[in-house]
Amino acid sequence: MKKNMLIAQSGGPTAVINSGVVGAFTAAMDLKFDNIYAAYQGIEGVLKKEIIDLKAADRKTVEGLKYTPSAGLGSCRYKMSKDITHPDFEAVFKVFEELEIGYFFYNGGNDSMDTCDKINEYAVKHGIDIKVIGIPKTVDNDLVGTDHCPGFGSAAKYLNTTLQVSAYDCYSYSTPTIIMMETMGRHAGWLAASTACAKYNGEQLVDRIYLPESVFDMDAFLADTEKLFKEKKMVFLTVSEGIKDKNGDFLLSGVSVNDNFGHAQLGGVSEFLKSRIAENITPRTKIINPNIIQRCATHVASATDMEETFNTGYMAVKSAYEGKSGYMVAYERVQNNPYVMNYKLTPLSQVANAEKTIPQEWIIDGKQMTNDIIEYTEPLMKGEVMLRHGNDGLPEFSRLPRKFITL
């Protein structure tokens, strides 16, 4: 069997997701794989036979993806059936056969790891010799079986940097103001919680943090915010997009729609809360809603995050080459100070369709965090990434030509 590999990306991109692809590509080159293929826009690209020959592409362009935001191979939210007898699986493996694929790598989050697990299950059931490894990513930081997720450290760095910059702006005025940042996080509030790291004048900046892991009570929220507003000149709040009421419903569940995976497409809760604050406390409320920029801000990426992500891709290919299959590359933290981390393999079956939320013991009264989240997050944000800039002063990024091979 030829040493041909296929790699694809899926789900919401991150600032460093491409670093994992470059790591995988580098390992495949080092191990002298015959062909290195990429599916454009994930498993959907496999089904459409939209395949890019990475080995034939300009190597400088491929390696430049490491410093390029978002999914360089294109992403998708195509939902594969949980039933491996579905025709999609046969179609996928037909493409694998045509390309003589011996190794498949899927770079994504929860649902992507489920797809990866099902592909491995199909291969085992049908006696097909193909090694399948998941390369993790997700700014939500909610994959189980790993200490943290590639992309989270960079997103946290961007959010905390944005808050600190905003604080210097707001404190230049004397008008009392409520400043609210909305972060991503459907069921796990890691990003919102990470903003406990932000500081102003050496002190913790954010006064309250509202997470999906805690019940959100509107009356209590308004009463506490009003109390803070009377006591302080500036009030800083962080709210996760996925906060829920006592019934477990998203605060904006009545207006949200679902994506292809059946997940509610959230966002806008900060504007809703702003309107309630205006009605009950003050019209002087400023919103910081980073939206998609929090997950693709390579210009404020963490060097630690980028290098770790590169290594996950490299280890994925190396592990598959050594005969491993049905695993996701994961992180195992040894200690915080100095930060020491090891790489390991976690079975895909343990990762698929599971979510890691913030430990309840790290949350105080549903609106503040213990120092644990700071000790956990700070090492992941360290180090600066130097981007290449053009004559216009703007960063230059790599883009793979959408040149598909003929099957």
Residues carrying an active site annotation = 140
Instruction: Decide: residue 213, CB within 10 A, 0-12 exposed, 13-18 middle, 19+ buried.
Output: buried
Q: In this structure, are residues 176 and 318 in contact, taking their beta carbons and an 8 Å threshold?
A: no
Instruction: Decide: residue 44, CB within 10 A, 0-12 exposed, 13-18 middle, 19+ buried.
Output: buried
Contacts of 213 (CB under 8 A, 6+ apart): 188, 189, 357, 358, 360, 363
**How many other C-beta atoms are found inside a 10 Å radius of the C-beta of residue 393?**
6
Instruction: Decide: residue 222, CB within 10 A, 0-12 exposed, 13-18 middle, 19+ buried.
Output: middle
* DSSP code per residue over 259-313: -TTS-EE---HHHHHHHHHHHHT-S-EEEE--TTHHHH-GGG-BHHHHHHHHHHH
Element holding 118 (H helix, E strand): helix 110-125
Distance between CA atoms of 377 and 206, rounded to whole angstroms? Answer: 15
Element holding 325 (H helix, E strand): none
Contacts of 221 (CB under 8 A, 6+ apart): 210, 273
Distance between CA atoms of 192 and 362, rounded to whole angstroms? Answer: 13
Please identify which residue in the block is written with the tokens 């060097």. 303
